[in-house]
Amino acid sequence: MFGAFALYSQVPASIIPTVNTSHSSDYDLVVIGGGAAGYFGAITFAELAAPARTLILERTGSVLGKVRISGGGRCNVTHDCELPQPLTTHYPRGERSLLGPFHQWGVPETIAWFAAAGVELHTEADGRMFPTTNQSETVIHCLQDAAARHQVELLTKWEVAELSREEGLWRVTSTSGSMIRARAVLLASGGIRSGGGERIASSAGHRVVSPVASLFTFKIADSRLADLAGLSVPHAAISIPGTKLLSEGPCLVTHWGLSGPAILKLSAWGAREFAARDYRFEIRVNWTGTENRESIDHLLRQARELQPKRRVGSGLADLRLPSRLWQRLCEHSGVSQELIWSHLPKDCRQRLAEELVGGAYQVTGQSLNKDEFVTAGGVTLSEVHLRTMESKLAPGLYFAGEVLDVDGVTGGFNFQAAWTTARLAGEAAAARHRGLG
């Protein structure tokens, strides 16, 4: 009927809890969602409220899916950003609201928790933090082991249809008509793009900000990018004409257009703007990252003076651009591969300069990045007590993770928001449980 503890196969059988079907209708906390936030909230509550009964409900047949694929299968647990205020600047939605929560539980606390659980993290040059094993399974086993130790129960393939209150208890009803009762509920169902989280939150009386995609790649069909899939530029700057949207960082050419951190960050900050334009808009790409029209023109004129007999198609060492991209931009600017610098006409030089620092590309759609799919939108933050993540409308209902109208850029920030909100929700639910006796 249910797939209970399907992914606890790595945990010793002696510590795997089982669902007691004769009394499974009553729980102290039911967590809706078997992702990072759901597990972390359930573990926190079960530890602090023991011997309370805790149950995770997961609508699919497996749990911790995003943890498994994050960071290319390495799990980008968090980001090396110790202070709360700088940390908040990486959240297009929720920047101001997260300041208080990050003071309560931030990156240092997350690192310490995982270290105490046997998962040491290492920091890469760009600030992303991964388990030293570079394996997402390390994080998955850590969370599952902790859940098992604290007797957290799990039901998979159990999809929630609605929440309702009756005689001081929550009634959690499935799409098949089954019902479970709980003293408190933590909604950690993930992004609301699929409609499940929105339906559940709405059934409890909450307003939900409509979902749009965030952290997506740009579909671009352009001859300048044809056959260059896999090519990466270490530092590019992407802007949107007529807006203040600008992003810098590595940029990757794909089979369908452009991706990489520079694109993903821009997609996050412009998520609603791009959705309103039906994902059809123009971008300007500065392949050099930092040069402008004046400085790049100076470099091109300098090359004419210092290496007059060198072929333009051989590149410009100061820019460190991939040779195939350089040659493609030269072709698009009307510059022959065999032309030498001393013979480069002024109009060709100016066109090449424009291509290098401000080439226009037409975006015709978006494609979700398989490692970092995130939704902008969710439960309205004004209806949530941000110190506890408890609903202002329905006592005993808590929220954590992406179901909230909070989302971050790529780099471990969305997981950090999940750990923080889940921890605060679990602590508050445990305190409420102890107060109720």
Query: What does the pLDDT look like over 199-251, one tens digit per residue?
Result: 899 999 999 999 999 999 999 999 999 999 999 999 999 999 999 999 999 99
Who contacts 5 (Cβ-Cβ below 8 Å, separation ≥6)? Answer: 16, 17, 18, 153, 154
**pLDDT, tens digit, for every residue of 371-411?**
456 889 999 999 999 999 999 999 999 999 999 999 999 99
Neighbours of 108 (CB within 10 A): 12
Mean pLDDT of 17-32: 67
pLDDT confidence band for 197 (50 / 70 / 90): confident
The pLDDT assigned to 45 comes to: 98
Q: How far is CA 323 from the centre of its chain?
A: 32
Who contacts 41 (Cβ-Cβ below 8 Å, separation ≥6)? Answer: 31, 186, 188, 398, 400, 422, 423, 425, 426, 429
Is the pLDDT at 33 greater than 70? The verdict is yes
**pLDDT, tens digit, for every residue of 269-317?**
999 999 999 999 999 999 999 999 999 999 999 999 999 999 999 999 8
Neighbours of 426 (CB within 10 A): 28
The pLDDT assigned to 339 comes to: 96
Is the pLDDT at 93 greater than 90? The verdict is yes
The CA distance from 15 to 202, in Å, is: 37
How would you class 294 by CB atoms within 10 Å of its CB: exposed for 0-12, middle for 13-18, buried for 19 or more? Answer: exposed
288 and 322 Cβ atoms separated by less than 8 Å:
no
* pTM higher than 0.85: yes
pLDDT confidence band for 193 (50 / 70 / 90): low
Is the pLDDT at 8 greater than 90? The verdict is no
Who contacts 130 (Cβ-Cβ below 8 Å, separation ≥6)? Answer: 71, 74, 75, 76, 77, 121, 122, 124
* Residue of 245, 214, 355 lying closest to 297 (CA atoms): 355
Q: Angle, to 10 degrees, between the axis of helix 136-149 and the axis of helix 65-73?
A: 150
Percentage of residues in the chain having pLDDT higher than 70: 92
Residue with tokens 């202002």: 392
The CA distance from 188 to 252, in Å, is: 32
The CA distance from 342 to 307, in Å, is: 8
CA atoms within 13 A on the CB side of 328: 16
Is the pLDDT at 9 greater than 60? The verdict is no
The CA distance from 28 to 2, in Å, is: 20
Is the pLDDT at 10 greater than 80? The verdict is no
Is the pLDDT at 414 greater than 50? The verdict is yes
The pLDDT assigned to 89 comes to: 97
Is the pLDDT at 24 greater than 90? The verdict is no
Q: Which helix (H) or strand (E) holds 404?
A: none
**pLDDT, tens digit, for every residue of 334-346?**
999 899 999 999 9
The CA distance from 143 to 37, in Å, is: 11
Which residue did the predictor score with more confidence, 194 or 152? 152
Ordered domains of the chain (ranges, CATH) = 13-212+374-436 (3.50.50.60), 216-368 (no CATH)
The pLDDT assigned to 101 comes to: 98
Angle at 193 between CA 265 and CA 204, to 5 degrees: 125
